[in-house]
Chain A
Amino acid sequence: MTSTPYLSLSIWVPIIAGLLVLALGSGNRAPLARALALAGSIAGFLVTIPLYTGFDPALATMQFSEYASWIPAFHVNYHLGIDGISLWFVLLNSFMTILVVLAGWEVIEDRPAQYLAAFLIMSGLINGVFASLDAILFYVFFEAMLIPMFIIIGVWGGPRRVYAALKFFLYTLLGSLLMLAAFIYMFLKAGNSFEILGFHALQMPLHVQELIFVALFMSFAVKVPMWPVHTWLPDAHVEAPTGGSVILAAITLKIGAYGFLRFNLPIAPDAAHALAPVMITLSLIAVVYIGLVALVQSDMKKLVAYSSISHMGFVTLGFFVFNPLGIEGGLLQMISHGFVSGAMFLCIGVLYDRMHSRRIADYGGVANTMPKFAAFFMLFAMANAGLPGTSGFIGEFLVTLGALQANFWYAFLAATTLIFGAAYTLWMYKRVVFGDIANASVRALTDIGMREFAFLAILAACVLAMGIYPKPFTEPMHASVNKLIQQTMLKKI
Chain B
Amino acid sequence: MPSMKALLLLIPLAPLAGALLAGLFGKTIGRTGAHLATILGVAVALACSLEVAQAVFTQGFHYNEAIYTWLTVGALPLQVGFLIDPLTATMMVVVTFVSLMVHIYTIGYMHEDPGYQRFFSYIALFTFAMLMLVMSNNFLQLFFGWEAVGLVSYLLIGFWFTRPTAVYANLKAFLVNRVGDFGFLLGIGLVLANFGSLDYATVFAAAPAKAATMIQLIPGQNGSLLTITCILLFIGAMGKSAQMPLHVWLPDSMEGPTPISALIHAATMVTAGIFMVSRMSPLFELSETARSFVLVVGATTALFMAFLGIIQYDIKRVVAYSTLSQLGYMTVALGVSAYPIAIFHLATHAFFKALLFLGAGSVIHAMHHEQDMRHMGGLRKHLPITYWTAVVGSLALAGIPPFAGFYSKDLIIEAVQASHAPGAGYALFAVMAGVFITAFYSFRMLFMTFHGKERMDHHTREHLHESPWVITLPLILLAVPSLISGFLGVEPLVFGKYFGDSILLAPEGPVAALREEWHGVGAFTTHGLMALPFLLAVAGIATAAYMYLVNPALPERLKQRFTALGIYGLLDNKYYFDRFNEVFFAGGAQTLGGGLWRVGDQTLIDGGMVNGSAATVALGSRLLRRLQTGFLYNYAFMMIFGVFALLSISLWLFKA
A residues neighboring B (CB under 8 Å): 167, 171, 228, 231-232, 289, 292-297, 323-325, 328-329, 365, 367-368, 378, 382, 387-389, 393-394, 397-398, 400-401, 404-405, 408-409, 411-412, 415-416, 418-420, 422-423, 426-427, 430, 433-436, 469-471, 473-475, 478, 482
A292 to B585, CA, bound (A): 12
Q: A296-B590, A470-B70, A482-B74 are known; give 9 further A-B pairs, CB within 8 A.
A: A292-B592, A293-B593, A293-B597, A388-B148, A400-B185, A411-B189, A419-B175, A419-B179, A435-B164
A394 to B143, CA, bound (A): 12
Interface centre among B70, B74, B158, B179 (most CB of A within 10 A): B74
Q: Are the C-beta atoms of B182 and A418 separated by less than 8 Å?
A: yes
A295-B589 contact in complex given A231-B605, A419-B182, C-beta closer than 8 Å: yes
Q: Are the C-beta atoms of A423 and B175 separated by less than 8 Å?
A: yes
Q: Are the C-beta atoms of B185 and A418 separated by less than 8 Å?
A: yes
A294-B193 contact in complex given A328-B73, A394-B71, A435-B164, C-beta closer than 8 Å: no
Closest B residue to A437 by beta carbon equals: B162
Q: Are the C-beta atoms of B182 and A416 separated by less than 8 Å?
A: yes
12 contacts between A and B (CB under 8 A): A292-B592, A293-B593, A297-B597, A388-B143, A394-B71, A400-B185, A404-B192, A416-B182, A426-B171, A436-B162, A470-B71, A474-B71
For residue B3, CB closer than 8 A to chain A, the reply is no
Interface mask (B56-75 → A, CB under 8 Å = 1, otherwise 0): 00000000000011111110
For residue B461, CB closer than 8 A to chain A, the reply is no
Q: Are the C-beta atoms of A427 and B151 separated by less than 8 Å?
A: no
Q: Is the interface of B mostly helix, strand, loop or mixed?
A: helix
A400-B144 contact in complex given A419-B179, A436-B162, C-beta closer than 8 Å: no
For residue B610, CB closer than 8 A to chain A, the reply is yes
Q: Are the C-beta atoms of B601 and A231 separated by less than 8 Å?
A: yes
A292-B182 contact in complex given A228-B609, A394-B71, A430-B167, C-beta closer than 8 Å: no
Interface mask (B169-209 → A, CB under 8 Å = 1, otherwise 0): 00100110011011001101110110000000000000000
A411 to B182, CA, bound (A): 10
For residue B492, CB closer than 8 A to chain A, the reply is no
Q: Are the C-beta atoms of A418 and B181 separated by less than 8 Å?
A: yes
Residues in B neighbouring A419, C-beta threshold 8 A: 175, 178-179, 182
For residue B520, CB closer than 8 A to chain A, the reply is no
Q: Are the C-beta atoms of A401 and B69 separated by less than 8 Å?
A: no
A325 to B198, CA, bound (A): 14
Interface mask (B127-159 → A, CB under 8 Å = 1, otherwise 0): 000000000000000011001100100110010
Residues in B neighbouring A367, C-beta threshold 8 A: 161
A324 to B181, CA, bound (A): 24
Shortest CB distance B598–A (Å): 9
A423 to B594, CA, bound (A): 15
Shortest CB distance A177–B (Å): 14
Q: Are the C-beta atoms of A401 and B610 separated by less than 8 Å?
A: no
Q: Are the C-beta atoms of B182 and A415 separated by less than 8 Å?
A: yes
A275 to B167, CA, bound (A): 45
Shortest CB distance B115–A (Å): 10
Residues in B neighbouring A232, C-beta threshold 8 A: 610
Residues in A neighbouring B74, C-beta threshold 8 A: 323-325, 328, 478, 482
Shortest CB distance B51–A (Å): 27
Residues in B neighbouring A416, C-beta threshold 8 A: 182
Residues in A neighbouring B596, C-beta threshold 8 A: 289, 292-293
Q: Which of A328, A382, A427 contacts B171 (CB 8 A)?
A: A427
Residues in B neighbouring A434, C-beta threshold 8 A: 158, 161-162, 167
Shortest CB distance B444–A (Å): 35
A117 to B181, CA, bound (A): 46
Q: Are the C-beta atoms of B593 and A295 separated by less than 8 Å?
A: yes
A382 to B154, CA, bound (A): 11
Shortest CB distance B375–A (Å): 26
Residues in B neighbouring A436, C-beta threshold 8 A: 162, 164
Residues in A neighbouring B151, C-beta threshold 8 A: 382, 387
Shortest CB distance A146–B (Å): 18
Shortest CB distance A84–B (Å): 13
Q: Are the C-beta atoms of B593 and A296 separated by less than 8 Å?
A: yes
Residues in B neighbouring A471, C-beta threshold 8 A: 69-72
Q: Are the C-beta atoms of A469 and B148 separated by less than 8 Å?
A: no
Residues in A neighbouring B572, C-beta threshold 8 A: none
For residue B582, CB closer than 8 A to chain A, the reply is no
A172 to B164, CA, bound (A): 44
Shortest CB distance A131–B (Å): 26
Q: Are the C-beta atoms of A296 and B594 separated by less than 8 Å?
A: yes
Shortest CB distance A488–B (Å): 14
Q: Are the C-beta atoms of B162 and A418 separated by less than 8 Å?
A: no
Interface centre among A292, A368, A394 (most CB of B within 10 A): A292
Residues in B neighbouring A323, C-beta threshold 8 A: 74
A77 to B74, CA, bound (A): 34
Residues in A neighbouring B610, C-beta threshold 8 A: 167, 171, 231-232
A388-B147 contact in complex given A400-B185, A408-B217, C-beta closer than 8 Å: yes
**When A and B form their complex, which 5 residue pairs have the shortest distance between CB atoms, in order from nearest?**
A324-B74, A292-B593, A404-B189, A434-B167, A296-B593
A430-B72 contact in complex given A367-B161, A412-B186, C-beta closer than 8 Å: no
Residues in B neighbouring A167, C-beta threshold 8 A: 610
Q: Are the C-beta atoms of A474 and B593 separated by less than 8 Å?
A: no
Shortest CB distance A442–B (Å): 12
Residues in B neighbouring A329, C-beta threshold 8 A: 73
A404 to B175, CA, bound (A): 23
Shortest CB distance A34–B (Å): 30
Residues in B neighbouring A297, C-beta threshold 8 A: 597
Shortest CB distance A429–B (Å): 9
Residues in A neighbouring B144, C-beta threshold 8 A: 388-389
A231-B606 contact in complex given A389-B148, A411-B189, A474-B72, C-beta closer than 8 Å: yes
Residues in A neighbouring B154, C-beta threshold 8 A: 426
Q: Are the C-beta atoms of A422 and B161 separated by less than 8 Å?
A: no
For residue B468, CB closer than 8 A to chain A, the reply is no
For residue B600, CB closer than 8 A to chain A, the reply is yes
A171 to B215, CA, bound (A): 44
Q: Are the C-beta atoms of A405 and B193 separated by less than 8 Å?
A: yes
Q: Which of B69, B73, B155 contacts A324 (CB 8 A)?
A: B73
Residues in B neighbouring A293, C-beta threshold 8 A: 593, 596-597, 600-601
Q: Which of A228, A294, A325, A423 contacts B73 (CB 8 A)?
A: A325
Shortest CB distance B132–A (Å): 10
A323 to B116, CA, bound (A): 49
Closest B residue to A407 by beta carbon equals: B217
